[in-house]
Chains A and B, each alone.
Chain A
């Protein structure tokens, strides 16, 4: 009732304007999400027998799901700190470092503009051999642009007076940025980390094009490959349960990020 009263108090125009967006979200996100949950509890979508948590148990016990999960987490644990650190350094250099370098700012957007297929082809010329490095490098190279843009925007939004006050108190050099700049842009850094985590789950395209197969070397076999291959095998249940696991993983990571943000904001 309280919700209805609150709803009534809204301007009806607002509600009308929201309807298309809500409808789109409902049709394209909520319904598929519910269906995925449903599929994860049945034996297959042709016979549709309820099997409880069997699919979850099977998927979790599957050695290739474990391998994929491990590789996906490794990508997050190794690449994202490197990516964020690099992005912060570049942003600081661009914002407060050598002035001539600021003109090169646009170059960081280029990786986002070049088609992934071309990038993968070029990367193949650079990297050879059995190593995970090409995928990691490709991920960092591809995503650093957006991170730098976001962080640079946040840095330039800091009031100059704050720096002046800090300098008067004796802060300078790296200490200045460590104590002043970085804490002030912490929400943006957290947002950039979240964005990068989400992007890390989308590294499939680059990896697929680089290796040219649904079965890359074991070190690059991520959750997306696991899901894609099960899709081709018509195993919707493995696909659905691994999607749910991925969702849970992302929620945990988001919560950890928010927790960190809250802690450091204090």
Chain B
């Protein structure tokens, strides 16, 4: 009997395992098929591959609002001057060909009569003259549902009400739905259920003036399309609204205490996102007062008005694009540029042609793990963070799940991929040779393997820069040119302290250990006892390991990677403001952070102290919008970071993409890389392209460019400092002697390089 029971258990176990495996596989395959099937059914196409940017060729200028129908047709509000100004809606098909033009102005007469409540016949029989105003109907926001285009008018100056219209495409009929009093600047209109939801601004007319006054800021109003009832459905600082698939409204809003959250209308459940915490305060401000949120499927697309182009650092399911209207439909994100409409495929690529990207996650205090900064170029990349063991295993086992490797030259596996030939040769990628000719020569060298084949696509450079305030260093009598080595730097810091100038010595020694290790090992020539002895003695002398601080005179321990401030805060009316960010004398700063700050400085164009001060003061007064203000760049300069040996070149690293030769999606990979190259080639202030004309003419940019363009620079693919980090700590903690430390390091480095 027991035998039969055992057999049954084994049988069911096998069935269970089979079904488990099978269902996983089927689910994924079905999902991919569904995506393509739905898209193609929707568009009546046989598309298996999607264009990433769609540029309209026959666009007329002056687009005010636009929307996209479910079948992919683009509707733009527009105007043309043909002696008489006509407000129109142009309709384009998927290929960018104009298929219809709706002249809204032709309805002006009828609408005017409607509003007066008289017919054409009654007009003929009027006994007294009346005034008929042929207003503008130019849509400021619009949406399309079935055969109806719903839109709001563009408010005239001083107006305090907004009319809501629908245009029946089939009957060619324009009607006013309602007029929203004390409500203007409608940013977004959403059709959901039997309601129109409008996100706009509550206003009233100031007495004795014709100037509208903002009452409470933004709110969301609903218009019941059946009863015509108008209701304020949300007035707690909405940022954007979106219609959901289940005919519900999703609101994205801001709470002063908790930050940003999503709220499904009709419920009390607020889903806070952690953008404010996880990304950066800067992005928190980018939402501003004009963000728009869209939904499609499981995605929520958040847009914001900002002058910069696609923000590359952000999460993949949030898109921050340029300061133009957006519409998301059926997996595409459309946005309006000055010259036309671009279409970015967003959703379709997440599975069928997904590029699974791997970046290594080495861990350890001395490492920095790069965050993928690839732009969304129509092929969404799904990031897989994997460790060395897993990555090595995947590469050696011919794994085809990962398509591209997003790596950093500082990862020791990078060099192993190059040396072992574990890459797909990129020689035939369109434009790649031109791109390599366009980047700094040492970057080109790094991209070629020993046979002259292109083994990786360099994306961005990084190095440690020395940022200093030229005016302040001069005021304090610091000869900045004399700081070539770290010993020179410590001499300057101690000198400042002796003169009672507040100096922060919070730089973490792990970071410096890392820098110096790479400097010593930059040629991978093996172990040099003298170099490592010098480095060990240097750190031993300058670091109080027990306290975890630098042993400068009167040392203080702070967590910032800054050396010296001239002041920690700005005082206004006796109160300290922004006590964590003042101006500083000098600081180490990574190129990646510098690039960010420089672009920020350029976008804000803050170039003098007065503007800087005014910005702070407006914050203090509560009248200004919180803004991440970069350091006052007018006095900022960059120089090469002091090295341990005083070497002239900088230790530069590169973030790059290598392609898995076993990838199942090589066609998509090639397409993606082609677009990426095009994107890279058009970057401004890239700090990787050597063409000086692609950089803005600012003194601090010239500094950085000069450092990167130094003739002896080269990219190094070094071994990991993790190799000896524990021994280094053991030595600093007096657990082992200097000779024991050196012996261990010698064995490890020699073994690593020669085993």
Chain A contact residues, CB within 8 Å of chain B: 44-47, 62-65, 130, 212-213, 215, 217-218, 221, 226, 229-236, 238
28 of the cross-chain contacts (CB-CB < 8 Å) are A44-B421, A45-B396, A45-B398, A46-B423, A47-B421, A62-B754, A63-B754, A64-B755, A65-B755, A212-B726, A213-B748, A215-B747, A215-B751, A215-B752, A217-B744, A217-B747, A226-B755, A230-B755, A231-B396, A233-B392, A233-B420, A234-B392, A234-B395, A234-B396, A234-B413, A234-B416, A234-B417, A236-B396
In angstroms, Cα B664 to Cα A134, docked, is 48
**Residue of chain A at shortest CB distance from B744:** A217
Task: Select the residue from B413, B420, B752 with max chain A CB neighbours within 10 A.
Answer: B420
- B389 adjacent to A232 (CB under 8 Å): yes
Q: Using an 8 Å CB-CB cutoff, how does the interface string of B727-755 with A read, 1 for contact, 0 for none?
A: 00000000000001000100110011011
Task: Give chain B residues whose Cβ lies under 8 Å from the Cβ of A232.
Answer: 388-389, 392, 413, 416
Q: Closest Cβ of chain A: how far from B386's Cβ, in Å?
A: 13
Give the number of chain B interface residues (Cβ < 8 Å).
Answer: 25
* New contact pairs (16) apart from A213-B723, A234-B420, CB-CB < 8 Å: A44-B421, A46-B422, A46-B661, A62-B755, A130-B740, A213-B726, A217-B747, A218-B751, A221-B751, A231-B393, A232-B413, A233-B392, A233-B420, A234-B395, A235-B416, A235-B420
Q: Closest Cβ of chain B: how far from A237's Cβ, in Å?
A: 9
Task: Give chain A residues whose Cβ lies under 8 Å from the Cβ of B744.
Answer: 217
Chain B contact residues, CB within 8 Å of chain A: 388-389, 392-393, 395-396, 398, 413, 416-417, 420-423, 661, 723, 726, 740, 744, 747-748, 751-752, 754-755
Tell me the dominant secondary structure on chain A's binding face: loop
Task: Give chain A residues whose Cβ lies under 8 Å from the Cβ of B389.
Answer: 232
Cross-interface CB contact of B747 among A44, A47, A212, A218, cutoff 8 Å: A218
**Residue of chain B at shortest CB distance from A63:** B754
Tell me the dominant secondary structure on chain B's binding face: helix
**Residue of chain A at shortest CB distance from B417:** A234
In angstroms, Cα B744 to Cα A215, docked, is 9
Cross-interface CB contact of B392 among A213, A231, A238, cutoff 8 Å: A231
Q: Closest Cβ of chain A: how far from B738's Cβ, in Å?
A: 14
In angstroms, Cα B195 to Cα A165, docked, is 105
Cross-interface CB contact of B421 among A46, A62, A238, cutoff 8 Å: A46
Task: Give chain A residues whose Cβ lies under 8 Å from the Cβ of B398.
Answer: 45
Task: Give chain A residues whose Cβ lies under 8 Å from the Cβ of B393.
Answer: 231
**Residue of chain B at shortest CB distance from A236:** B396
Cross-interface CB contact of A229 among B417, B421, B661, B751, cutoff 8 Å: B751
Cross-interface CB contact of B755 among A44, A217, A229, A234, cutoff 8 Å: A229
A-B residue pairs, 9 tightest by C-beta = A64-B755, A215-B748, A234-B420, A46-B421, A234-B416, A233-B416, A218-B747, A232-B392, A64-B751
In angstroms, Cα B17 to Cα A152, docked, is 42
Task: Give chain B residues whose Cβ lies under 8 Å from the Cβ of A65.
Answer: 755
Task: Select the residue from A44, A234, A235, A238 with max chain B CB neighbours within 10 A.
Answer: A234
In angstroms, Cα B232 to Cα A184, docked, is 97
Task: Give chain B residues whose Cβ lies under 8 Å from the Cβ of A212.
Answer: 726
Q: Closest Cβ of chain A: how far from B561's Cβ, in Å?
A: 28
Task: Select the residue from B388, B423, B723, B755 with max chain A CB neighbours within 10 A.
Answer: B755
**Residue of chain B at shortest CB distance from A219:** B747
**Residue of chain A at shortest CB distance from B388:** A232
Q: Closest Cβ of chain A: how far from B505's Cβ, in Å?
A: 31
In angstroms, Cα B660 to Cα A234, docked, is 13
Task: Give chain B residues whose Cβ lies under 8 Å from the Cβ of A233.
Answer: 392, 416, 420
Task: Give chain B residues whose Cβ lies under 8 Å from the Cβ of A47.
Answer: 421
Task: Give chain A residues whose Cβ lies under 8 Å from the Cβ of B747.
Answer: 215, 217-218, 221
Q: Closest Cβ of chain A: how far from B238's Cβ, in Å?
A: 52
Task: Give chain A residues whose Cβ lies under 8 Å from the Cβ of B740.
Answer: 130
In angstroms, Cα B747 to Cα A44, docked, is 27
